[in-house]
Structure 1
Amino acid sequence: MATIWTIIIVYMAVMIGIGFYSKTKIKDSTDYHLAGRRLGPIMLAGTLAATEIGGGSSVGVASKAYGDWGLSAGWYVVAAGIGIFLVSFVAPYMRKAMATTVPEIIGKRYGKSSYVITSLLSILSLTLLTAVQITATATIINVLTGFSMEGAILIAGIGVVFYTYLGGMWSVTLTDFVQFFLIVFGFAIAVPFALSAAGGFDTVISNLPDEHLGFTKIGWKTIVGLIILYFMTFSTGQEAVQRYYSARNEKIAIWGSVLCAALMCIYAFIPAFIGLIAKSAFPNIEANNALATVSVELLPPLIAGLLLSGVISATLSSASGDMLGVASVYVKDIHGKYINKSLNDQSELKISKITVVITGLIAIGISLFSQQIIPLLVFAFTIRSTGPFAAYIFGLLWEKATPNAGLWSIIIGTIVGFYWQFAKEPFGMMAVVAGGTASLLTFLIVNWIDRSRGIPSSPSAYNSNKDLSS
């Protein structure tokens, strides 16, 4: 255990050092929010992958494999890879817009009401996602130290707030790049060691219920639903879109996305298999502790230390990206438009850092109350994407979209998504599919009515300087 702790402490010290280094590269708010729009394809792919391979795709997948989903939990990450590949077709339009936030595009195309609703949905979902990542990190700290989950949540939350406050997007990007490749390498070498320590492949398989080995146990309806969920949420999620905005140019936005998709699909089933090893060797533990328990009990200390360092850093970096997304949306889309319209760049930077701290504290509170991972993750993805999805995509791609179409699609899609979620997803249809379909149909119908009545289309997303606060 001492070796594991030494590696984790050294690794986290390096990450904090990167935060201090990143602080020296920040000269203005564009550097803080978008890394100066200078990311190349490898850095973009690494930061995209690390953002999405956080608590849900590591701790969460191992937990679901241990629990109800078995081996098919790996589809959670494959679906994410396919979703982000589909986003590559939209990525150049995101970069071309030269925006900072998702609501900024919505506001330019559809006006103030659409702008405000999307901003609030984005802030709510990103705060929930921050809480998910803090919870995932806390499960590891809980197993390693024996601290209560509440104490572990406080440690994880305070740590991520600190280095996000320091370095912004530069800090997030550099730590993402390091930890993504560490986590993939760590998982890849962990599986054979864990398998051997658990008695070998035959022993593990013989200890598992047959249904846990089903490759598609979760069902094709869920798999397709997850692909749709991820395409929609990566298209409209501030923490993902903000990285596309940070690309050096439109071509890099495409290839960074394609490379990220490939990396995620390669990684996908590794944490699921670790969850199965945990189910075989430790059948009576908490499902959320599956990954950490295998690491501590079955892996050599050096490998366990590297793997858990990578997982902790990945989950914290995802939380960092989510908090930074809240800061970007709040400062650009609420504070700068409705509270202080004459905000200068240094004041914007200061308020961004304060927002990061406040968001972190709220997320810690949610984590203390909920302590869920994948269910809360899916809920957050649903509320931020069901309504704004059609409006955002058409806002980027279609010049003939009308303001009413955007507004009503956001309202109807969000209402249907919320209802479907709280109604426990009737007919087995995921809430994001129901809400997204309602959003798309509403957009097309209202847009057709507006065009037939001669109502003009909204301003372009690429050259409008419309004052959204008026």
Structure 2
Amino acid sequence: MNTTLIVLLSYMLIIVLIAVFSTKKSKIKESDDYLLAGRNLGVWMLAGTLAAAEIGGGSTIGVAQKAYQDWGLSAGWYVLCAGIGIFLVSFVAPYLRKAMAATIPEILGRRYGKEVHLITTILSIVAGFIAAAVQIIATASIISTVTGMPIKEALILSAIVVTIYTVMGGLISVAYTDIIHIFFIVIGMIVALPIILDNSGGWEAVELALPKEQLDPFKIGWIQIGGLILLYFMTFSTGQEAVQRYFAAKDEKVAKKGSFLCSLFMGIYGFVPAIIGLVALAHFPNIEPAQALPTAAVNFLNPVMAGVVLASICAATLSSAAGNMIAVSAIFTNDVYKKYVKKQAESKELILVSKFVIIFTGVVSLIIALTNTSIIGLLVFAFTIRSAGPFAALIFGLLYKRVTKLGAISSIIIASIVAFTWEYLGSPFGIMSIILGASVSVIVLLVVSAIDLKMGGKEAPSAFLDEN
């Protein structure tokens, strides 16, 4: 067994032990303890778990993969734009926390009624399956590179590990371990980058080996960069795995400050994985693109450093997968089981249901992962499913009174159809489907609501809005 693998396995074992310890210490009794960490996360805990949830497979393995392929150095904008997106969501975060909800569908259901609640529940659960699959793929890429294990077996192993890890302690154990993950990812990768560059012949070697356009930090263009910022603002403000962290904050101020701090973490991390992806392309032009980052780490870092870096990334992807699994579990438990199956279910029963849902999510996500290994492509598709339709209904539902139930239903259905159609057509003119869909959702919501009100319709109930 090589040193890198020993370090990786040791790190993972320590993380599991910390998860076990934090679970026992937290004394989970209520479903909110399991799914929302008792709504007791402080600023640093919130920032860490939010950053670890979003700096997962897409922002590490996925960015290096895109840099290795067609985006080049400009793949770094994928992370930087995510940081800007989180910064913008910070201004919405206090309203999300003050709503005292457990899920996005719950907020929409309280504002617009049963139909909107049901539609968004389905969209959120499907998106959660796909997002979890992305993180399983990223984890498997690392395991496969370090051990030589076939990718299929690595996918199965990753799914089993993350499912056990998530079932163990819910959001509280994930939050505790996320603090460690984010420290090692951000600090570890920043320390590792100059070492990788030095041992691979320096940046000059990369420049000599690659065409100039691959080194252009703006290769993807400003339209794409602007689109990524909008994409992240839309998906982070409507995505259960992110919003669930805001729901778990101690109060509204913590939600806002923790979100600001998270955006800083992501900004610092920025272009690091993209540069490493280019180093891999310069020296290993014929490997699988998804293995660009782990290949560079294994070949240009000493075994211990490589083990620490890969272990932290692996742990972060598992943590992101756990966040998506908990998100699906929270939505099913709160918005399906408790609402339609057994309204008077006690906390012990809800926790048991949550754990069964996590296991089921692990199985479905594995099936998706086994059929598609495009990390960024799958992630953007998941974002489109969960955000394109519900975006306007949620944001205006939190901040604006003059919207109606008909306007919300119309905007979600029409915008979702537009986004899915645009995605199927290959996103013509470089306009991302989520951007087009969310834009349509805003227009349809405001126009239909205005017409509905003029024809005698009523504003959607806004009890929690009045409290804000």
TM-score interval for Structure 1 and Structure 2 normalised by the shorter chain: over 0.9
Ranges of 4+ aligned residues in structure 1 off by more than 3 Å: none
The answer to whether 1:379 aligns with 2:377 is no
> Which shifted more, 207-216 or 91-100?
207-216
Find the partner of 1:388 among 381, 387, 390. Answer: 390
Show the counterpart of 1:421. Answer: 423
- Percent of residue pairs bearing the same amino acid type: 51
Cα distance in 2, alignment partners of residues 172 and 389 from structure 1: 27
What TM-score, normalized to structure 1? 0.97
C-alpha distance in structure 2 between counterparts of 1:436 and 1:442, whole Å: 10
Give runs of aligned pairs for residues 155-304 of structure 1, distance below 5 A: 155-304=157-306
Instruction: Give runs of aligned pairs for residues 47-62 of structure 1, distance below 5 A.
Output: 47-62=49-64
Look up the match of 1:18.
18
SS in 2 for 1:142: helix
Distance (Å, rounded) in 1 between the aligned partners of 2:118 and 2:228: 28
Instruction: Measure, in 2, the Cα distance between the counterparts of 1:4 and 1:431.
Output: 41
Which residue of the partner structure matches residue 149 of structure 2? 147
> How far 1:163 moved relative to its partner?
1.1
SS at match of 1:459: coil
| In 2: Cα distance, 1:3 partner to 1:241 partner | 39
* Matching residue of 1:435: 437
CA RMSD of aligned residues (A): 1.1
Contact 2:68 2:280 in 1 (8 A): yes
Where structure 2 has 5 or more consecutive residues not aligned to the other structure, the ranges are: none
How far did residue 22 of structure 1 move? 3.0
**Structure 1 residue identity aligned to 2:243:** V
**Conserved 8 A contact 1:74-1:269:** yes
Please identify, of 451-460 and 144-153, the stretch whose mean Cα deviation from structure 2 is larger: 451-460
Structure 1 gaps of 5+ residues are 465-470
Alpha-carbon contact 1:19-1:164 (below 8 Å) kept? no
Cα deviation code 1:202-258 (max 9, x no counterpart): 122211111111011011111111111100000000000000001111011111111
User: Which AA in structure 2 matches 1:169?
Assistant: L
Partner residue of 2:83?
A: 81
Tell me by how many angstroms 1:440 deviates. 0.5
Question: Which residue does the alignment assign to 2:459?
Answer: 457
Summarize deviations over 1:105-124 as a string: whole Å, max 9, x none. 00001111100000000000
The one-letter code sitting in structure 1 at the alignment partner of 2:107 is I
Q: Conserved in 2, the CA contact under 8 Å of 1:33 and 1:168?
A: yes
Alignment: residue pair count: 464
> Contact conserved, 1:396 with 1:461, CA < 8 A, in 2?
no
Deviation, 1:19, is 2.2
Q: What letter corresponds to residue 43 of structure 2 in structure 1?
A: P
Determine which of 352, 374, 382 is the counterpart of 2:354.
Answer: 352
- Give secondary structure in 2 for the equivalent of 1:98: coil
1:165 Cα shift? 0.2
- 1:343 aligns to what? 345
Q: Give the whole-Å Cα distance in 2 for the aligned partners of 1:427 and 1:56.
A: 24
The amino acid that maps onto 1:224 is G
Greater Cα shift, 378-387 or 192-201: 192-201
Tell me how far apart the structure 1 counterparts of residues 178 and 86 of structure 2 sit (CA, whole Å): 17
Deviation at 1:18, TM superposition (A): 2.1
Structure-1 separation of matches of 2:397 and 2:58: 30
| Letter in structure 2 aligned against 1:101 | T
How far does residue 461 in structure 1 lie from its aligned partner after superposition?
Answer: 5.3
1:463 is displaced (CA, Å) by 7.8
Distance in 2 separating the partners of 1:44 and 1:297: 35
Q: What do residues 413-458 of structure 1 show as CA deviations (whole Å, max 9, x unaligned)? A: 1111101100111222110111011101000011101221232212
Check the 8 A contact 2:129/2:328 in 1, yes or no: yes
Matched, 1:403 2:405: yes
Paired residue type of 1:339: V
- 2:5 paired with 1:5: yes
Kindly indicate whether the alpha-carbon contact (under 8 Å) linking 1:233 and 1:381 is maintained by their aligned counterparts in 2.
Answer: yes
- Under a length normalisation based on structure 2, what TM-score does the superposition of the two structures give? 0.98
| Alignment match, 2:138 | 136
Residue correspondence of structure 1 range 39-50 to structure 2 within 5 A: 39-50=41-52
Q: In 2, distance between residues paired with 1:119 and 1:415?
A: 16
2:29 is paired with a residue whose SS is coil
Displacement of 1:400 in angstroms is 2.5
